[in-house]
Amino acid sequence: MSGNSMKIVADGNIPFVKECFSSLGEVKVVGGRKITQALCADADILLVRSITQVGEELLAGSRVRFVGTATIGFDHVDADYLRKRNIGFASAPGSNANSVAEYVVAALLQVGQKYGITLDGKSIGIVGVGNVGSRVAQKAAALGIKVFLNDPPLARQKSNRKERGDRREENINKGYLPIEELFDCDFITLHTPLTFEGDDKTFHLADKKFFKLLKTGCVFLNTSRGNVADTDALKKTIWEGKLQAAVLDVWENEPDIDTELLQMVDIATPHIAGYSFDGKAAGMIMIYKAACEHFALKAKFDVESFLPLPIVPQLKINPQVGNEQEVLLNAVEKIYDIKSDDLRMRQILNEPTEKRVKFFDRLRKEYPIRREFQNTEVILENSCKILEGKLAGIGFKLSNG
């Protein structure tokens, strides 16, 4: 099949999808929730993000030969159905892992400021140590936080991940622990896929028992999937004062979220932790190259073909203004101010009940461009080795200038 004869249906929330995939055929861009069976009927390629459910109901009778999701997870895709129909499939594992890890860094620094918590020397339990969780571990360790890991599937593989010997990982406990051994940590953060059965089922992993066993004063974060945490159990735990703070980027029943829970948490965002522009573009290119390979076509583009110049190419910092953690927070806020996302999210409460679902979706669709720390070069006006190590460890480029 020649590229130019193909028809492509794509979620408009994938950046540059039309510019890129037009090299393969005619691209029709629509909202993710507006992708219907009728639209897919004569399409050869379907490109989605997480809000589109892909399976027999959507694709029955269509001529779709390749499905790509520009997301790291694919619980919204019936991969078995695609396999049986001999439909090619690709996701974008790892594409937004750094974006989510930077979100967690921003959240930790923000919560630290709000409650006077010094991060250095505290402990964090990371549940799920795949592409995202491992990045979170590296950045948390760089901040001086002691890292404890839980990942039963990886534990069964006898922790055979390659050791990098990176000094930034000195704080990471390399063994995979039973989840019960993470409950005494100061922070606990979820980075698992959503699964509904088997020994590693994650649906309502954070349930009534989970929250009951957590250390009093723990800070709870979830950027994985909303259904990994039981909403009622979380609300009860917050209401009882068990948690110091809660940070939620994902919600049960998205986009029809529990607005009572929204009012109870310290940081609330609309499932955008992985929405850095860099991560989105990387995810798009990953499925583009997979589609090219599937149809034996030559790829014309790479991620560098689309990424614009950094919004903040350079940042001058005086390490003597404020304590170390304040300097880090100020640097991070120049690139990503998580408070702005939280503020926009809370405006959903001003909407009539019947309009809140669309408002949530619009927050995601119209999400402003956010670039990753790696695009910004930091110049320290005075040398400070410890601060330099932390800035580099969370992803900034350092300059000797």
Q: Which of 49, 65, 271, 370 is catalytic?
A: 271
Tokens of 47: 């490109």
Contact predicate 140/124, CB 8 Å: yes
The sign one gets for the Cα dihedral 201, 204, 208, 211 is positive
Contact predicate 54/67, CB 8 Å: yes
Of 280, 268, 235, 307, nearest to 99 by C-alpha is: 280
Active site residue 225: yes
Q: How many CA atoms lie within 13 A of 361 on its CB side?
A: 18
Where would I find the H helices in 48-96? 56-59, 79-84
Q: Which of 49, 225, 344, 364 is catalytic?
A: 225
| CA distances (Å), origin 183, targets 101, 117, 242, 267, 401 | 21, 18, 13, 21, 44
Measure the CA–CA gap between 139 and 100, rounded to whole angstroms. 11
Look up residue 333 and give its amino acid. E
Active site residue 371: no
Measure the CA–CA gap between 399 and 401, rounded to whole angstroms. 5
Q: H or E stretch including 103?
A: helix 97-115
Where would I find the H helices in 347-394? 356-365, 385-394
Active site residue 168: no
Q: For the chain, first and last CA: distance in Å? A: 53
In this structure, how many other beta carbons lie within 10 angstroms of the beta carbon of residue 267? Answer: 21
Of 42, 51, 60, nearest to 6 by C-alpha is: 42
Look up residue 224 and give its amino acid. S
Q: Which of 49, 135, 168, 254 is catalytic?
A: 254
- Peptide linkage before 255 cis (omega within 30 of 0): yes
Burial letters for 305-333: b for 16+ Cβ neighbours within 10 Å, e otherwise? ebbeebeeeebebebeeeebbebbbebbb
Contact predicate 142/394, CB 8 Å: yes
User: Catalytic positions, please?
Assistant: 225, 254, 271
